[in-house]
Structure 1
Amino acid sequence: MQTVTVTVTNSSRRPMLRTNVSLRGPAGWTVGPESIDVRRIGADESARAVFDVRVPTLREGFRMYPFTATIAYHGGDRLDTASQELMLTSGQPVGSIAEARNNVGVTTLETRADGDFDGYGNSFSAEALEAVGVTPGAVLEGAGAEFTWPDVAADQVDNVAASGQAIDVGTAGSRIAFLTSGSGLNATGTVRVFYTDGTSSEGTLGVPNWTGTGANPDAEVVAASKGRNRPDGYGNENGTYSVFATAIEVDPARTIDFVVLPANSSIHVFDMVVS
C-alpha cells in the first residue's frame, strides 16, 4: 500500500469553504477513499488530502500510469471544479534513439527480403536514397535541425516503429525535431515529454505516409527517392517515397529527462534531435 497526497492551494482573496477532492488512478489500481472533504482553506493557504493506493504487480519494461485529481470547491472566487493529471512511470528509458530501433526500413536489391517498412515486405531502396544524398551517417537538415541518417548497413534495423518507447534525453531546448516517415495514412500520435523537475508536456507528432499523403501535409520533405524494394524486386519506379522532418514545441526553461514516443507503429523515426 502506498499513499498519494493531493495539495489544494487557494490563490484567491476569499476563503474556500467547501472543498471535495477525488483521485482516479490507472485501471487495476485501487484508490481509497473515493473522495475527501477538506477543511476551510483561507486565502493564500493550502490543504492536503491523502489517499491510499494499492499498487498491483507492475509489468516489465517502461510503463506510464496516469492519476487524475479533481477538486470541487465552493468559495474563493467561484463555484467550480478543477483537475490536474500526474503521470507516474516505472522502468527505465533506453539510452538513445539508436537503442530503440526495431525495424528495417532500407534495403539493397540483394537484401530486400530483410526489409519490411510497411508491413507488406516493402522498403526504401538504398540505391535510390543514395542517388538523392541519403547514405549511412549522412547529415540531413529539416525542421530547423540537423539529423544524422542511421549509420548502419542496409539490412540492419535503422528506424523505430513507434510503440510507446521511452528515450533518454538529458538536455534542454525549445523544440524536438523528428526525422521520420509513415507507413500508413494515420501516422499520428501524442509525444509526451518528461522534464527533470517532475513535470511533463505533450505534443502531436503527425507524419505523412512515405508516398506523401496522409497526416500532417505541412511536414518538410527531407529526401524523396524514386521507387522502392518489394518482395519481388525493385518496383514502383514512377512512385516517390520520402522521408520528412517535423517538430514539437517544448519548454526551453526546463531540462528534458526523457521522451515517450506515440503508440502508433505506422510512425517510423530515423532520428530525434533537441534543438
Structure 2
Amino acid sequence: MPPRVLGGQPAISDITVTVTNVGGAAVTDVTVEVGGPINWTLYPATHTIEELADGASVEVVTEIHVPNNPSPTTLRKFTASATYLTSAGARESVDTIRLQQLELGETGTMAELRNNVGTTTLETVAAGDYDGDGNSFSRELLAELGATPGATVEHLGATFTWPDVAPGEPDNVVAAGQSVELEGSGGGLAVLGSGLGSGVSGQFVIHYSDGSASTGNLGFGNWFSATPAFGETVAYKMNGRNTPAGLANTEFEYGIYVSTINIDPRKTVSAVTLPNAGGLHIFAMGFAPYVPGPEPTAEPTGEPTEEPTGGPTDDPSGEPSDPPATQQPSKSPSAAPGKPTLPPGTDLYTTPGKHHVGGRDWFTKCEAYSQTFRCQTDIWATTVLRDGAGYEQVTGWVFNNLTYLPMMTRAQWSDNPLGYKTAWTATDGRKWYTDCDSSVTGRNGCRSYVWANLVEVVKDANGATSYRTVHKWVFNNMVRFK
C-alpha cells in the first residue's frame, strides 16, 4: 500500500500489492485489480498472473497519480481484488481494503495540542474563553463534581484523566483536524467534551498500530442547558458559568458530555484524527471496555415460541428501520447500472410469499436495494409488549430478519458496515456489530446484530409466569456476497 501523501499536493506514488496463495493447491488465470479514490489515476490498474503455486507470493506494483486539487477529505480508500481459477475449475475471488490517512493537521498528545482555556477559577476568569465571548466553566463547581486537575474519572465504563493544568492555562482541544497520539484498546473510543452553537459533530479517524484505520461519527450538544443533541450522555452539569465578571447565569445549567465510537477490539489504537469541527471541545479521551455480544446460534434469529418470549418492547428497537444512507454502498457496479432483476429464491428468506416451515408460518417480501434486492422475513408469533405498568401478550406478524441477496461483491459492500466485520453506533444512537465469514455466518457472508430492549418470560419453580425487560444483541440482517 502507498506511503503517506500530503493533502493538496500533486504527487506520484506506488501501491505494492502482495498476492499469496494459501489455498492448498496451485491456482491459474489470476487477475489483480487495484482501485483508489475517484479522479485519482492508477496505472496499471489491472495485473495478470498465469499461475501461482501453493504457498507462493507475487508482488504487483501500481502507480498512483494524485490530482492537483484532491477533495478535502482526510481519509482515502484503496482496494485490491484478485480473481482466479482453482484446480477444480471454479472461479473465486478475494478482496482487501486499505484506508490511508492524509497528513493535514497537527500531531501530538492531548497535552501538547490543548488550544483553549475552557475552565477557570474566580481568580482567573479573565483568561477563560470557551465560547468566544470570554465565558468558561467554573473550576470550583467542577471540583464539587470530582473533576479536579489530574483526577481519574470514569464515565460509560471508560477511565479518563481530567486535564492537569494550572488555572488560566489551555485545558481542552478545539477539534481542527489534529492527530492525537493515543495508545490503547477496547470496545470503544470514549470522548469527554461539549459543543457550541446548536451542537457540533464530525468524523473521527481511529488509527491502529497495524497501519489500518476505521472511522466513526461523534457529536456534542451546546454546553448551555446541558442537553444532549447526538445521543451522548451528560457527564457533568452545573448551575452557572464563569464570565469576565465572575460566576453568573446560575439559573441555567451548563454541561460536559461523554460519548463513544466503536473500535476494533482486536487491535491497538495508536492515534486518533479529530474532525475539522470548530466548536467541538475535547477535554479527554479514553477507552471503553469491549463487551462481546452472546454467541449467535446457527438459527437466523431467536425465534419466538408459542409462549410469550423476548419480543419487541414498546420501544421496537429490535425491529430497526432501514440503515441510514451513510451505510449504503457508495459505488455501483457500472457507470450506468440497470435495474436489478429479482432472481429465483433459494430458501424462505429469499422467496417472496407465505411459507410454512418447521411448523411455523413465515412471510417474505423483497424490494430493490442499490444493485441487489433486500428481503424482509416476518414470522407469525406471540410476543410480549410492555403496556404501561404491565405487560400484554400480542400475536401477529413479527419482524424476523432482512436478507441482502448475493448480487453485489464484497468490494461493492466495502463502504457499508453491514458488509464487513466491525462494530458501530448508528446516527440514532443504537449500537450494532457485524460478524463475517465465521462458523455462524458461513463463508462469503455477514450477519449484523443490534443492541435492543426485549421482554423475557420468567417462570418460577411453581410454574408462575412473570416478565422482565432485558438488553441483548438481536440478529437483524444477513448479507450474502456475489
- The corresponding residue for 1:60 is none
Q: Distance in 2 between matches of 1:132 and 1:106?
A: 14
Contact 1:41 1:47 in 2 (8 A): no
2:278 partner SS:
coil
Q: Which amino acid aligns with 2:209?
A: T
Contact 1:185 1:213 in 2 (8 A): no
Once the two structures are superposed, the pairs formed by residues 12-91 of structure 1 within 5 Å of their partners are 21-24=33-36, 31-33=41-43, 35-36=45-46, 38-39=48-49, 49-53=60-64, 66-69=76-79, 84-90=97-103
Q: Distance in 2 between matches of 1:92 and 1:116?
A: 23
Name the CA shift for 1:65/1:16 in 2 (closer, same or farther; >3 Å).
farther
> Aligned-pair distance for 1:238?
0.9
Q: Distance in 2 between matches of 1:224 and 1:243?
A: 6
Higher relative contact order (CA 8 A, sep 6+): 1
Gaps of 5+ in 1: 58-62
- Counterpart of 2:276 (choices 242, 251, 263) is 263
1:176 aligns with 2:186: no
Q: Distance in 2 between matches of 1:50 and 1:158?
A: 46
Q: Distance in 2 between matches of 1:223 and 1:107?
A: 16
1:264 partner SS:
strand
Q: Which amino acid aligns with 1:87?
A: Q
> Aligned-pair distance for 1:160?
0.9
- Counterpart of 1:215 (choices 229, 240, 245) is 229
- The corresponding residue for 2:142 is 129
Query: Could you list the per-position Cα deviations for residues 241-273 of structure 1 after superposition, in whole angstroms to 9, with x for gaps in the alignment?
Result: 111222222222222222222221322111112
Name the CA shift for 1:106/1:26 in 2 (closer, same or farther; >3 Å).
farther
Q: Which amino acid aligns with 2:175?
A: A
Contact 1:10 1:41 in 2 (8 A): no
> Aligned-pair distance for 1:89?
4.9
- The corresponding residue for 1:151 is 164
2:146 partner SS:
coil
> Aligned-pair distance for 1:145?
1.9
Q: Distance in 2 between matches of 1:34 and 1:247?
A: 41
- The corresponding residue for 2:358 is none
- The corresponding residue for 1:237 is 250
> Aligned-pair distance for 1:204?
2.1
Q: With structure 2 as the length reference, what TM-score do the two structures score?
A: 0.46
> Aligned-pair distance for 1:106?
0.8
> Aligned-pair distance for 1:39?
4.9
> Aligned-pair distance for 1:177?
1.7
Name the CA shift for 1:122/1:8 in 2 (closer, same or farther; >3 Å).
farther
Query: Could you list the per-position Cα deviations for residues 111-136 of structure 1 after superposition, in whole angstroms to 9, with x for gaps in the alignment?
Result: 32322212232211223323433322
Q: Distance in 1 between matches of 2:62 and 2:180?
A: 31
Name the CA shift for 1:83/1:196 in 2 (closer, same or farther; >3 Å).
closer
Q: Which amino acid aligns with 2:260?
A: A
Give the length in aligned residue pairs: 267
Name the CA shift for 1:173/1:56 in 2 (closer, same or farther; >3 Å).
same
Name the CA shift for 1:10/1:214 in 2 (closer, same or farther; >3 Å).
farther
> Aligned-pair distance for 1:156?
0.7
Q: Distance in 2 between matches of 1:96 and 1:264?
A: 19
Contact 2:227 2:255 in 1 (8 A): no
Q: With structure 1 as the length reference, what TM-score do the two structures score?
A: 0.76
Q: Which amino acid aligns with 2:253?
A: T
Q: Distance in 2 between matches of 1:236 and 1:174?
A: 38
Q: Distance in 2 between matches of 1:46 and 1:205?
A: 41
Contact 1:31 1:51 in 2 (8 A): no
Q: Distance in 2 between matches of 1:273 and 1:48?
A: 39
> Aligned-pair distance for 1:65?
5.6
Q: Distance in 1 between matches of 2:38 and 2:139?
A: 44
Which segment is superposed worse, 87-96 or 231-240?
Answer: 87-96
Q: Which amino acid aligns with 1:208?
A: G
Contact 1:26 1:66 in 2 (8 A): no
- The corresponding residue for 1:116 is 129
1:99 partner SS:
helix
Q: Distance in 2 between matches of 1:38 and 1:255?
A: 35
Identity %: 37
Q: Distance in 2 between matches of 1:235 and 1:16?
A: 76
Q: Distance in 2 between matches of 1:187 and 1:20?
A: 42
Larger radius of gyration: 2
> Aligned-pair distance for 1:109?
3.6
Q: Alpha carbon RMSD of aligned pairs, Å?
A: 3.8
- The corresponding residue for 1:252 is 265
Which segment is superposed worse, 75-84 or 99-108?
Answer: 75-84
Q: Which amino acid aligns with 1:4?
A: I
Query: Could you list the per-position Cα deviations for residues 13-55 of structure 1 after superposition, in whole angstroms to 9, with x for gaps in the alignment?
Result: 9x8969573533598xx74426335456889998764222357
1:187 aligns with 2:197: no
- Counterpart of 1:2 (choices 1, 13, 18) is 13
Q: Which amino acid aligns with 1:192?
A: V
Contact 1:140 1:149 in 2 (8 A): yes
Q: Which amino acid aligns with 2:165?
A: V
> Aligned-pair distance for 1:157?
0.4
Name the CA shift for 1:251/1:86 in 2 (closer, same or farther; >3 Å).
closer
> Aligned-pair distance for 1:186?
3.5
1:168 partner SS:
strand
Q: Distance in 2 between matches of 1:214 and 1:92?
A: 28
